[in-house]
Amino acid sequence: MKKGVLIFVFIICFIVGGFFVTRAMNQAEDVALSDDFTSSFINEDVETDEGFHYFESGNRKFSMWFPEGYYVGNNHAQYSSKPHSEIINLFEESENENGYKGVFQISYRDNISNERAQLRLERLLEDFSYDNQYETIDNESAIIYYGASNYELVGRQGKKTDPSLSFTNRFFALIQAKNSDEIIALNYRLSCPESMGCSYDDNSERIFFEKFIENIHFTE
């Protein structure tokens, strides 16, 4: 009997020890968990899809699925949190398998009228859309306006082109709450070092971006 108990205890210790070793290895590999500032926003006890972590904003006004391999910029220009607003910049730590890096710029505001929300959408369209094109997602709590474009330098000037005819390296979204006066405006940009020949995977990037924006939720 005693021998059986000892074996059982040993097995439990082995399983628990293996869990913490695996968790420590994952934290070492993923900057979202190893970076002290970024990890302070993450709750590992909340379940998400693979490749993401559950993230709560500093002012606790919204949550989102935070992508693995990214970290939150930790200076006044990259992060700011106030009771009625928050600015967050997310940076991909290293080039992905296709050779480019991603950057998110996210801005939360409340006390926003429908007119001001419309003006914010128009600004996003002007800055990031091709020919003012966008789509909408209408769910129970919010309306999401989103779109994409290709941006490239032609000489010394930037030019936005139809992403369906080339590749997509800029995405944008405006998320407007239905039951409150809150909005979140964001953009996602992909950059390729000049020395590298990057291979853009439009389909996977669109799926990634849509999953990201669909899992941003205002705190009720």
The angle subtended at Cα 49 by Cα 94 and Cα 93, nearest 5°, is 10
Secondary structure in 3-state letters for 111-147: CCCHHHHHHHHHHHHHHHCCCCCCEEEECCCEEEEEE
How far apart, in whole angstroms, are the C-alpha atoms of residue 163 and residue 161?
A: 6
Q: Which residues contact 112 (CB under 8 A, 6 or more apart)?
A: 120, 181, 182, 183
How many other C-beta atoms lie within 10 A of the C-beta of residue 220?
A: 7
Q: Which residues contact 16 (CB under 8 A, 6 or more apart)?
A: none
Match 């059982």 to its residue by tokens. 8
What is the dotted CATH code of the domain comprising 41-218?
3.40.1000
Q: What is the pLDDT along the chain (220 residues), one digit of tens a residue?
A: 555 555 554 555 455 454 443 444 444 589 999 999 999 999 999 999 999 999 999 999 999 999 999 999 999 999 999 999 999 999 999 887 778 899 999 999 999 999 999 999 999 999 999 999 999 999 999 999 999 999 887 777 788 888 888 789 999 999 999 999 999 999 999 988 765 667 778 889 999 999 999 999 999 7
Task: Determine the residue type at 67.
Answer: P
- Is 142:175 a contact under the CB 8 Å cutoff? yes
Question: Phi and psi at residue 72, in whole multiples of 5°?
Answer: -90, 125
Identify which of 106, 20, 24 has the alpha carbon closest to the alpha carbon of residue 70. 106
Match 């904003």 to its residue by tokens. 57
